[in-house]
Amino acid sequence: MRLACPHFHRYLEGFEDKVAYEPTDVPGLVLRDLNNGVFCLEDFLRYCAVETIPSIQLTV
């Protein structure tokens, strides 16, 4: 089954990273805007307790 983006993978022994979750199924994860990849990344980093979130380069 394919999940829409964004979705999150979690490593589980025996399944490796083949387990994925919809954002609404991740307890405590709040995403400001599902259509904004940068916001999703920043919110996910906060959820993972990254203390200093670096600025994200939008262009090459």
What separation in angstroms does the CA of 16 have from each of 5, 10, 12, 37, 47?
20, 8, 5, 24, 21
Q: What pLDDT does residue 47 have?
A: 92
Residue 51 has a CB neighbour count (10 Å cut-off) of: 6
Provide block-wise average pLDDT over 10 residues at a time, the chain (60 residues).
78 83 89 91 93 92
The radius of gyration computed from the CA coordinates of the chain, to the nearest angstrom, equals: 13
pLDDT of residue 20: 86
Identify the pLDDT of residue 43: 94
